[in-house]
Amino acid sequence: MSGCYYFYIVCHTDSPIFEMEFMPSAKEPKKEDHRHLIEFIANAALDLVDEHMWRTSNMYLKAVDKFNQWFVSAFVTASNIRFLVVHDNKNEDGIKNFFMEMYETYIKFSMNPFYKQNTPIKSIAFEKKAQFYGRKFLTS
């Protein structure tokens, strides 16, 4: 299992409002207990994200946590929405680009007057964008 990426957007109340996984195309779908572990790692990293974001003026916080082979990279938007990627490969630039593109996508999405902040993102267009950037910057 390497080259897997799990992307989460976490809202102000710590709930994930969007999640997506990116696998190298040859990989088989993960098992359920695996997902539990990933969620656990991502959730546990939130404390560290909150700590790291005051130490830098950058939005991209790089890897904030590590658990066994898993890294957690984070990005904090201006409105304090947290993007997390749990990954097992070092790919700092790719993740940074991915975050930047997703940030732009998220801004556009959040400007939709019908979208209520802190509610799950249910948009096919958004998903497609995420998938596209995931392929472009993460799994390619």
Partner 1 sequence: MNYEESKAVITYTGEGWNANAKSLLEAVGADSFEWRRPLGRGPKHVRVEAALFAAAEAPSNRPMIHTFWSACTDVDTWRSSEKDRVERWIRSIAAGVEWLVVLAAPKVADKARTELKQSERCISSRDPALLRRVRQMLLTAISNEEQRLGQEVRRERERRNEQGWSFGEYLALQEQLAALLGTLKGAEDEALVQYDELDALFTQFVRNASLIGKVNFVLRNEKQQHLNFLSEPPPWLNSFSAPLKEWRGLGIDSNARFAIVNSDASLLQLRVYLFTRQLNLLLKMNQPQQIAERCLPLLQICSNELRILEVDFPEGAASCWAVQVSLQVLHVCRKYPDQVHSLPAATLCDYACQKLFQLGELLGLMPGGQGPSSAQIDAALWLGAGLGPEPPFGGEQLKEALGSPAAFQKLYLELAELALGTFKHLGRSRSARQLGHQLANFHQLRGDPHLAAAYLSDALTAVEGWPTLEIHILSQLAECLTGEKLAMARARLAASLTLELEVRKQHWHQLLQILKTLDDDGCVMPLEEVFDLVSVTPISGHRQQAYVNINSRLPEAVLVNPSLSVQTSLPQVSRKESNPRGRRLRGNFSACLSSEPIKIQPGLNEFILNAQGDLHTGHLSQLSLIMNDKMDFVSAEARLGIIEVKKGETTISVESGQLLARMPQKFQLRFTAGTDGIEEGTEVTIKAPRGLSLGDGGRQIVIELPKTEQGQDTVVTLEAIATPPSAKSTDIEYGLTLTSSLWDQAYPVSVHFTVPVAASVKLHTAMKTKFLQVVVSSTCRQRLMLSDPTLELSLGTCTPLPISSKPLTLDPDRPLSYIWQLEIEGPIRAKFNVNLTKDEVNGAYNCEFELAECATMIFVNSKVAAASGAEVCRANAMCHLHLTVEASEAIGYSLMYELLADQSMWAVCGRTAGVLNLDQPSHNLVLEVMPLTSGFLPHPQVRLSKYIPANAGSTHPKLEPFGPGQVYNKSKSLQVHVLPAIQSS
Binding site for partner 1 (CB under 8 A): 11, 13-17, 32, 35-36, 39-40, 42-44, 46-47, 50, 120
Q: How far is the CB of 122 from partner 1 (least distance, A)?
A: 12
C-beta of 52 vs 137, nearer to partner 1:
52
34 phi-psi bin (left φ>0, alpha ψ -120 to 50, beta other): alpha
CA–CA dist 135, 140 (Å, integer): 6
**Contact by Cβ (8 Å): 82, 65:** no
Q: What is the DSSP string of 54-104?
A: TT-S-SEEEEEEEETTEEEEEEE-TT--EEEEEESS--HHHHHHHHHHHHH
C-beta of 36 vs 108, nearer to partner 1:
36
C-beta of 67 vs 109, nearer to partner 1:
67
Q: How far is the CB of 39 from partner 1 (least distance, A)?
A: 5
C-beta of 33 vs 93, nearer to partner 1:
33
